[in-house]
Structure 1
Amino acid sequence: MKFKGLLLKFLIWRVKHVSTTNFVIITSGIIGIIAGLAAVTLKESVHVLQNFLTRDFQQEFGNYLYLSYPLIGIVLTLLLSKYILKEKLGHGITDILYSISKKSSIVKRTKTFSRMLTSTLTVGFGGSVGLEAPIVVTGSAIGSNIGRLVHLNYKQRTLLIGCGSAGAISAIFNSPIAGVIFSIEVILAEVTISSFIPLLIASVCGALVSLTLLGDDVLFSFNLTDEFIASDTPFYIFLGIFTGLVALYFTRVVGKVEGMIKNVKGDLNRAILGGVSLGFLIFLLPPLYGEGYDTITKLLEGNAQDILNNSLFFDDIESFFLIVLFAAGIILVKPVATALTIGSGGSGGIFAPSLFLGGVTGFLFAYLINKTGITAPISLSNFTLVGMSGVMSGVLHAPLTAIFLIAEITSGYTLFVPLMIVSAISYSTISYFEKFSIYTKPLVEKGDLIYHDKDRQVLSLIDLKKVIETDLLTIDPDATLGELVDLVRFSKRNIFPVVNQERELMGIVTLDDIREIMFDEESRKNIIVNTLMHSPPTFVTGKENMRSVMMKFEKTGAWNLPVLEEGKYEGFVSKSRIFNAYRKKLIRQQIE
């Protein structure tokens, strides 16, 4: 109570002395700092756990603990999320987009820390996913809940969610520009010029926290050693097409494997199956363990042979065919490993897997070209980095984020031209087959996320259950016309649902159906309602989205349709009531 009193006094003072615009800017800086601290904490926690678990591994041998670590991590994550946090995991950024679209940008308070705890266990024990999505969820939840605490409206809360994600990405990669662009491309559907300032402030604050606490020890970084050569452009064009196809493969396989493992009944059974399968894959291909940035660093430094360390295929002598087969195996299996981790109950994201897959793809592409001798040797490190941008651009449908992220983590813009070429071509390639990203596709298919259509966006904000009309008087199918006429006297509506004792809708009777006989005494005594009723043109369910409901109105030409829930009558929904709710939502958005 004391805290609420102090908060109320602060909010009153704020309204009197600080404009909303300036207050949002100040708040965005605070959110950026907190998100930066969260990112640093998560990164350090995971790496400490990974180093502890793998410190005694010998690179000359396959390490059998790989078979058990992922299972332990996924089961612990499941127990923590299900019984303590009581939270369902999955693709975290998809959940944030759903909260923005359908929950007025309100994110559960527990998500300010839950994804940090669960992803530490999952990734620390070798789950083949990344930390970026969990920390974006954390930053977004921080932004949403601070916005609620200080009584900001929907649009301002949404902006603060973007600030939280910008600060998180900026801190974990030390890439403030990429943090801002990620928020704009992936999190925020609409951005105005005034929104840039809070996003910039939050991103800069996140980066400063990271630089202060970690220095150069960020999640992943590399200093360029080779220059961009213009004559390599044709190879970059082919790499763009190749990474686009790899991104498509990743997206399709992740969706397919997740769907398959989620069909397994029982959370614990699913976790055991996923953990055992993942452990086996990591035992065969150790680079699948965790995020995989160590593997990318080895490839960038020219130590390709080192990717065979800790595996059954370790060899002191560089073997071209073994490295090619090993890298190709990683590309083919990585999406399966990622899907097993997330689908079986683990916590993590596909941001890092897309970067990892892109790095291996770019390396293998350049490695094969160099071994063929068809041209002068091309830079393995440059193609590895640009490949990271290509696959990430395709999987996330965020080419600008991919371009600026790689540019920033390499501390320069030497590769800006090839980054632009590969990212653009990769994005165009996958867009031909997949219109939406792996984050947005499930939401778009359910009608929970709509882009570039203001009418449908506003319509999607209407909750069907809130516009159901329950004031229509019902009549039993065995009642007489006389009993129905008695209802007409008290009803303000001209539709009468015919409902039996089990609350099942048998049909409807309208005033027009009985107008000519309702005053005939003989008819009132002898005619039964079930002989007068007729079926409605269609019905809707309480779980349908508004797009589906409006399509039914359009097809039937009706103005009123019954609402059924599991076969039981709930009420009616009218087109006029929906239009009225639409008008109110539109006015409210314009005011905000």
Structure 2
Amino acid sequence: MEASWRHRAETGDPFLLAFLGAASGLLAGLVILAFRLTIEFTQMAFLPEGKVGNYEALSPMWRLYLALGGGIFLGAVFQRLPGDMHQVGIVHVLHQLFYRAGAMPLRNAIVQFLGGSFAIITGQSVDREGPGVHLGAAAGSLIGQRLGLPPKVLRHLIACGSAAAIAAAFNTPLAGVVFSMEVIMMEYRVATFLPVILAAVIGAILSEAVYGSAPAFEVPSLALYSLKELPYLFLMGILIGLLATFFIALVEGSAALAQRQPVFLRLAASGLLTGLVALSIPEVMGVSYDTLDRILHQPTLDGTLILVALAKLVTTAVAVGLGMPGGLIGPTLVIGGAAGAAFGNALAALSPFSVTVSPFYAMAGMVAMMGATLQAPLAALIALLEMTASPGIILPAMLAVIPAQLILRYFGKEPVFTALLELRR
């Protein structure tokens, strides 16, 4: 029976691959929901007013104690674990995919679930999407390993689990498919599409069953006010590209430094940095989607927006580089959104003609920053479209993401996950 499964899988039986894709999507979606609910229920239990991510309502010293204590605790736990169990996140997925025939260890996934949720709960400046991709990829891989399937099929199931993870995280099935192909597989293959699409659909259905069908960010329908703004969008893309270049350089520098330091010191230092910054800029703590939601609805003063963008950039880059078990996809959206809104506010004050409101520039900045940092422009564009249900942003965002990507290439920067993978080898 097992030999029959392997033979049918190796020959690319579309019905079997679709079934395996559906199974991977179901398991991945359930794990992602459990991960997200663990974080949210815990935050609601101890944060003021029972609000998810409401770190701003904590006193400054409590923010410091929480982030520092979280970093120290994670460092102490990781110090006791074998070195190979420290490997988590999207970089770990890519490493196993390309150098370990797609075999994802269960114990690393357990460390990711527990470590990632604890990091976010204690306000570390990381996201849940990076851990989610790891957990989704592990779900697909473990199904394949349990059935004794060959490496080629394990690769497909990792893609399925990753797509389901992104779809379940944001209720964005199409973005999940494109992210899986553009960032994880780094290729588009027709044979892989059907099971990946099916996995993403199941992940999105599970997300919708729990959180409803509303987009992740409910913003009013916005469109470009005038074609005269196109050069401004291009200029904003250049500035976002410089931010993304600095972000990747800081991640690389932190990761290179981390290789020479014990894990306890690294994670404690990361928690200390986040706590110190949060004394005056609490928006850096946690995933910061509540901050991004406020930016998209009620942009604050330019100086505050710029401070939030720079503070989030530094704390996230250092946290990820030093090995904090969280991700960076969400923070790139926050950084790009804050920087884009600040640019839009400045433009409104200085432009000789009327321009579109700053939330419009915030959304374009989100695409430019995420697309440039991951060098996955299509995934970023589709993610924003599904997260905001604002089709009017697509053309302007495309114009902004192009110069952002070109700036990174001018400075010779690779996608952030590729850069980290090279450092790990």
TM over 0.5: yes
Q: Secondary structure at the match of 2:25?
A: helix
CA shift, 1:335, in A, is 2.6
Per the alignment, residue 268 of structure 1 pairs with 264
Please say if residues 244 and 427 of structure 1, whose CA atoms lie closer than 8 Å, have aligned partners that are also in contact.
Answer: yes
Please say if residues 115 and 347 of structure 1, whose CA atoms lie closer than 8 Å, have aligned partners that are also in contact.
Answer: yes
Per the alignment, residue 39 of structure 1 pairs with 32
- 1:314-353 alignment runs, 5 A limit: 323-353=301-331
- The answer to whether residue 256 in structure 2 is matched with residue 259 in structure 1 is yes
Of all paired residues, the percent bearing the same amino acid is: 25
Please say if residues 362 and 383 of structure 1, whose CA atoms lie closer than 8 Å, have aligned partners that are also in contact.
Answer: yes
Per the alignment, residue 42 of structure 2 pairs with 49
Specify which structure has the higher proportion of helix: 2
- 1:579-590 alignment runs, 5 A limit: none
Q: What is the CA deviation profile of residues 475-514 of structure 1, one whole-angstrom value per residue up to 9, with x for unaligned ones?
A: xxxxxxxxxxxxxxxxxxxxxxxxxxxxxxxxxxxxxxxx
Unaligned runs of 5+ residues in structure 1 are 1-8, 305-322, 449-592
Q: What is the CA deviation profile of residues 91-144 of structure 1, one whole-angstrom value per residue up to 9, with x for unaligned ones?
A: 621111111111111111223332121111001110001111101011111111
Read off the aligned partner of 1:36 and give its amino acid letter.
G
CA shift, 1:208, in A, is 0.6
- The answer to whether residue 1 in structure 2 is matched with residue 23 in structure 1 is no
Q: Distance in 1 between matches of 2:258 and 2:6?
A: 51
Q: Distance in 2 between matches of 1:225 and 1:386?
A: 14
Please say if residues 74 and 345 of structure 1, whose CA atoms lie closer than 8 Å, have aligned partners that are also in contact.
Answer: no
Please say if residues 372 and 405 of structure 2, whose CA atoms lie closer than 8 Å, have aligned partners that are also in contact.
Answer: yes
Q: Distance in 1 between matches of 2:345 and 2:88?
A: 33
CA shift, 1:337, in A, is 0.8
- 1:152-171 alignment runs, 5 A limit: 152-171=149-168
Per the alignment, residue 529 of structure 1 pairs with none
Relative to structure 1, the CA distance from residue 325 to residue 86 in structure 2 (aligned partners, 3 Å threshold; closer, same or farther) is same
Relative to structure 1, the CA distance from residue 80 to residue 272 in structure 2 (aligned partners, 3 Å threshold; closer, same or farther) is closer
Please say if residues 363 and 384 of structure 2, whose CA atoms lie closer than 8 Å, have aligned partners that are also in contact.
Answer: yes
- The answer to whether residue 273 in structure 2 is matched with residue 280 in structure 1 is no
Count of aligned pairs between the two proteins: 419
- Using CA pairs under 8 Å that are at least 6 residues apart, name the structure with larger relative contact order, 1 or 2: 2
Larger Rg: 1
CA shift, 1:224, in A, is 3.1
Per the alignment, residue 431 of structure 1 pairs with 409
Unaligned runs of 5+ residues in structure 2 are none
Please say if residues 81 and 87 of structure 1, whose CA atoms lie closer than 8 Å, have aligned partners that are also in contact.
Answer: no
Please say if residues 91 and 349 of structure 1, whose CA atoms lie closer than 8 Å, have aligned partners that are also in contact.
Answer: no
Per the alignment, residue 387 of structure 2 pairs with 409
Q: Secondary structure at the match of 1:415?
A: helix
Relative to structure 1, the CA distance from residue 16 to residue 445 in structure 2 (aligned partners, 3 Å threshold; closer, same or farther) is closer
Q: Distance in 2 between matches of 1:427 and 1:147?
A: 36
Q: Distance in 2 between matches of 1:173 and 1:85?
A: 33
Q: Distance in 1 between matches of 2:5 and 2:249?
A: 53
CA shift, 1:19, in A, is 7.3
1:100 to 97, 100, 109: 97
CA shift, 1:260, in A, is 3.7
Q: Distance in 2 between matches of 1:179 and 1:388?
A: 17
Q: Distance in 1 between matches of 2:423 and 2:120?
A: 30
Please say if residues 86 and 108 of structure 2, whose CA atoms lie closer than 8 Å, have aligned partners that are also in contact.
Answer: no
CA shift, 1:391, in A, is 0.4
- 1:220-235 alignment runs, 5 A limit: 220-231=216-227, 232-235=229-232
CA shift, 1:443, in A, is 3.3
Computed over aligned residues only, the root mean square deviation of the Cα atoms, in angstroms, reads 2.6
Relative to structure 1, the CA distance from residue 61 to residue 212 in structure 2 (aligned partners, 3 Å threshold; closer, same or farther) is closer
Q: Distance in 1 between matches of 2:156 and 2:295?
A: 38
TM-score, length of structure 2 as denominator length: 0.91
CA shift, 1:11, in A, is 6.0
Per the alignment, residue 109 of structure 1 pairs with 106
1:289 to 285, 288, 291: 285
Q: Distance in 2 between matches of 1:127 and 1:214?
A: 24
- The answer to whether residue 353 in structure 2 is matched with residue 375 in structure 1 is yes
CA shift, 1:86, in A, is 6.7
Specify which structure has the higher proportion of strand: 1
Q: Distance in 2 between matches of 1:262 and 1:295?
A: 33
Relative to structure 1, the CA distance from residue 103 to residue 87 in structure 2 (aligned partners, 3 Å threshold; closer, same or farther) is closer
Q: Distance in 2 between matches of 1:59 and 1:194?
A: 47
1:130 to 127, 130, 133: 127
Per the alignment, residue 569 of structure 1 pairs with none
Relative to structure 1, the CA distance from residue 115 to residue 432 in structure 2 (aligned partners, 3 Å threshold; closer, same or farther) is same
Per the alignment, residue 354 of structure 1 pairs with 332
Relative to structure 1, the CA distance from residue 16 to residue 259 in structure 2 (aligned partners, 3 Å threshold; closer, same or farther) is closer
Q: Distance in 2 between matches of 1:59 and 1:16?
A: 54
Q: Distance in 2 between matches of 1:282 and 1:371?
A: 29
Per the alignment, residue 390 of structure 1 pairs with 368
Read off the aligned partner of 2:24 and give its amino acid letter.
I
Please say if residues 255 and 423 of structure 2, whose CA atoms lie closer than 8 Å, have aligned partners that are also in contact.
Answer: no
Please say if residues 56 and 282 of structure 2, whose CA atoms lie closer than 8 Å, have aligned partners that are also in contact.
Answer: no
Relative to structure 1, the CA distance from residue 340 to residue 152 in structure 2 (aligned partners, 3 Å threshold; closer, same or farther) is same
Q: Secondary structure at the match of 1:284?
A: coil
- The answer to whether residue 343 in structure 2 is matched with residue 365 in structure 1 is yes
Please say if residues 74 and 121 of structure 1, whose CA atoms lie closer than 8 Å, have aligned partners that are also in contact.
Answer: no
Q: Distance in 1 between matches of 2:176 and 2:419?
A: 22
CA shift, 1:12, in A, is 4.7
Q: What is the CA deviation profile of residues 449-477 of structure 1, one whole-angstrom value per residue up to 9, with x for unaligned ones?
A: xxxxxxxxxxxxxxxxxxxxxxxxxxxxx
